[in-house]
Chain A
Amino acid sequence: MTRELWDLSAVEARRLLDAREISALELTEAHLARIERLEPVLFCHIEVMGDVARTQAVEADRRIAAGDAAPLTGIQVSLKDVLVTVDAPTTAASQILKGYRSPYDATVVRRLREQGAVFVGKANTDEFAMGSSTENSSFGPTRNPWKTTTVPGGSSGGPAAAVAAGEAIVSLGSDTGGSIRQPAGFCGVVGVKPTYGRVSRYGLIAFGSSLDQIGPFARSVEDAAILLEAIAGHDPFDSTSAPVPVPNYRAGLGGDLRGTRIGVAQEYNVSGMEPGVETAVATAVQRLEELGAELVPVSLPHTKYALPTYYITAPAEASANLARYDGVKYGLSVEAGSLREQYERTRGEGFGAEVKRRIMLGTYALSSGYYDAYYVKAQKVRTLLKQDFDQAFEQVDAIVAPTSPTVAFPIGARTDDPYQMYLADVFTIPANMAGIAGVAVPCGFSDGLPVSLQVLGKAFDEGTVLRVAHAYEQASEWRERRPSL
């Protein structure tokens, strides 16, 4: 099968680039043309970086010719627009940062630049990464490439859809309560939330500082492993980044699952879970057993408390992180008669509804008289959520569950009731609360829309999680499916 240039994996592209069968510039032009054709329908990108991409591609070709290529030299990458870049605006999809030009690159951006990757654009996101559908972007929603009347998921809907549609080979998103895994699931691609501390958060516009992680999207587990390796590792600019060596994730892939104990989480079902999702996930789990895994029922008894706990912790942290948007140093600044009025009017006009809701929720939870009842209470429940996983991982190497209770829902279906939207992340939130690693991998379709299997692993054990996901992927047919666009 001869693939279109925009449908190559990073592994295939590397081979063709190094063999000088294609050039990085050709590969880039193919992706930019695909972007130009699809963007009017999909809106994956807030900013397309055509000129930057071409310049990077030319330099990549020079490096490849000199025999100096790194794994991602000449490979097209899309960056969620919460990652700061010196050569393109960063907006966090908010009016309060419209036109903002960062004076520095995020560490993950710098690491990819050093490898000679090609940045095709800044991808759309829910505003300040707050949302589960990308409908909270102040620039409009991204559409799911599989069915454009549905959401791509969120908050990293742009990066997920870009990879699903062939606008980029791989992309970077961020995950605070599921914002990589859930859109990966809705868009039928692979998405990885690394362990908290695995990847530097320097240059990631902060939302929930004890929860946020940057991670890869790709059309294969192998490509995701390559990108994860490129961005992971200790960074002196992020005091929460772990001094833990980065394994060769790619080399760890392969083989069957004999000897691997996989926990099936009993509590990962909710009323409102779609039968098509349940069936596809159950079939996938059976496949794992056929590959030699020992399935072990495990209980994570506090699972149902993860969502309410998250909706105190994350907004509380966000209320502190978003205090910096005040019209003084950058971004929107509304003319007013006093400093107080400037703050209130700038923030009132610059922030969207969901962002305001979370700032309010978080401020309330931290305020005098409510701090113990809400914020401290949530921190205590967080201990229990983490303990659930610690105890389960004494019996198993990985835990599997659905990524979401449903497939992608229609645009507008959940925008009236905030809590209905929050429920989209009910299966992804626990991993952020516990700080562990997780991957979403395609496991089927229901009503023409992708279904996804979530594999969770111990902190800093991305290797096992990727190995399990890869074994499943190689034994299934989903990785060759493409949306018809």
Chain B
Amino acid sequence: MRLTIADVEHVAALARLGLTEAEKERMRDQLSSILGHIEALNEIDTAAIPPTAQTIDLTNVMRDDEVRPSLPVEQVLANAPRRSGDFFEVHTPLGGDEGES
């Protein structure tokens, strides 16, 4: 499976991962190589096999919907790179150059 630089850029954009030009080339080569090894899975016919998402037999583990104390706001914000009052401060996600891929 031979990836192109365009493939790498597309995936990096999905992952919001900034890569240098050198990293993109290395990524193209290394990911292509790893995916080549993974091709081995095509040797197995899995058409009739159900998928396994988890190995433990638990579903819908819930607790009663009771209000309980949460982490104090000061602790929540203690590691915040930028805060404004009781909020994490961020650049606006609206408008401008948020071109989606």
- Name the interface size band of chain B: 35 or more
**Distance A374 CA – B14 CA, assembled complex (angstroms):** 17
A3 an interface residue at 8 Å Cβ cutoff?
A: no
Chain B residues with CB under 8 A of A311 = 34, 37-38
Q: Given contacts A383-B51, A384-B46, is CB(A378)–CB(B17) below 8 Å?
A: no
Instruction: Report the minimal beta-carbon distance from A322 to chain B, rounded to whole angstroms.
Output: 9
A308 x B40 contact (CB < 8 A)? yes
B5 interfacial by beta-carbon distance below 8 Å: no
| Contact call B15/A319, Cβ cutoff below 8 A | yes
Q: Please give me the residue from chain A that is nearest to B55 by CB atom.
A: A435
* Smallest CB gap from B10: residue in A: A367
- Bound Cα distance from A266 to B56, whole angstroms: 26
Secondary structure call for the B interface: loop
Which residue of B19, B44, B76 contacts A103 across the interface (Cβ within 8 Å)? B76
| Interface set, chain A 328-357, CB cutoff 8 A to B | 328-331, 333, 336-340, 342-345, 347-349, 351, 353, 356-357
- Structural contact, A210 and B34, CB atoms closer than 8 A: no
Question: Is B78 touching A363 in the complex (CB atoms < 8 A)?
Answer: no
Q: Do residues A357 and B27 form an inter-chain contact, with CB atoms below 8 A?
A: yes
Kindly list chain B residues whose C-beta atoms are within 8 Å of the C-beta of A336. Answer: 91
Cα distance A434–B52 in the bound complex, in angstroms: 10
Q: Which chain B residue lies CB-closest to A349?
A: B18
Bound Cα distance A323, B49 (Å) = 30
B93 and A339 form a contact (CB under 8 A): yes
Contact with A along B37-76 (1 / 0, CB 8 A): 1101101101001111111101001010000000100011
Whose C-beta in chain A lies nearest to the C-beta of B27? A360
B11→A367 contact, CB < 8 A: yes
Knowing A103-B71, A319-B15, A363-B11 are in contact, say whether A309-B56 is a contact too (CB < 8 A). Answer: no
In the bound complex, do residue A419 and residue B37 qualify as a contact, i.e. CB atoms below 8 Å apart? yes
Instruction: Assess the B15–A340 pair: CB atoms within 8 A.
Output: no
User: B65 CB to closest chain A CB, in angstroms?
Assistant: 14
- Determine which residue in B7, B35, B53, B56 has the highest number of CB atoms from chain A within 10 A of its CB, and name it: B56
Which A residues are in CB contact (< 8 Å) with B98? 338-340
Q: Give every chain B residue within 8 A of A386 (Cβ-Cβ).
A: 52, 55
Residues of B within 8 A of A361 (CB): 31, 34-35
Say if the beta carbon of B90 comes within 8 Å of chain A.
Answer: yes
User: Does A196 count as interface, using CB distance less than 8 angstroms?
Assistant: yes
Looking at B15, B41, B63, which has the most chain A CB atoms within 10 Å of its CB? B15
Which residues of chain B come closer than 8 Å to A304, judged between CB atoms? 40
Q: How far is the CA of A339 from the CA of B99 in the complex (A)?
A: 12
Determine whether the beta carbon of A101 is less than 8 Å from that of B79: yes
Name A322's closest neighbour in chain B (CB-CB).
Answer: B15
Contact B33 A419 (CB under 8 A): yes
For chain A residues 133-185, which have a beta carbon within 8 Å of chain B?
none
Chain B residues with CB under 8 Å of A351's CB are: 17
Task: Determine whether the beta carbon of A377 is less than 8 Å from that of B19.
Answer: no
Chain B residues within 8 Å of A382, by CB? 51-52
B:73-96 near A, CB below 8 Å: 75-76, 78-82, 88, 90-93, 96
Instruction: Give complex CA distance A381, B40 in Å.
Output: 11
B20 → chain A closest CB, angstroms: 8
**A302 interface contact, C-beta 8 A:** yes
Contact yes or no, A377 B46, CB < 8 A: yes
Question: If A360-B15, A363-B14, A377-B41 touch, does A383 touch B52 (CB 8 Å cutoff)?
Answer: yes
Knowing A103-B78, A383-B52, A384-B44, the reply to whether A364 touches B18 (Cβ < 8 A) is no
* Inter-chain contact B18/A348, CB cutoff 8 Å: yes
List A266-313 residues whose CB lies under 8 Å from chain B: 302, 304-305, 307-309, 311-312
B16 beta carbon closer than 8 Å to chain A: yes
Which residue of chain A has the shortest Cβ distance to B51 in the bound complex? A379
25 contacts between A and B (CB under 8 A): A103-B75, A240-B56, A240-B61, A307-B37, A308-B37, A326-B16, A328-B90, A329-B80, A330-B80, A333-B81, A340-B98, A344-B16, A348-B17, A357-B27, A357-B34, A360-B12, A361-B31, A361-B34, A361-B35, A378-B41, A380-B49, A380-B50, A419-B34, A433-B55, A435-B54
Known: A210-B54, A347-B17, A383-B52. 17 other contacts (CB 8 A): A196-B55, A302-B44, A308-B37, A308-B38, A311-B34, A330-B80, A338-B96, A351-B17, A363-B14, A364-B7, A367-B10, A376-B51, A380-B46, A381-B41, A419-B33, A434-B55, A435-B56
Closest 5 CB pairs of A and B: A435-B55, A348-B18, A379-B51, A333-B81, A344-B18
Name B residues whose Cβ lies closer than 8 Å to a Cβ of A. Answer: 7-8, 10-12, 14-20, 23, 27, 30-31, 33-35, 37-38, 40-41, 43-44, 46, 49-56, 58, 61, 63, 71, 75-76, 78-82, 88, 90-93, 96-98
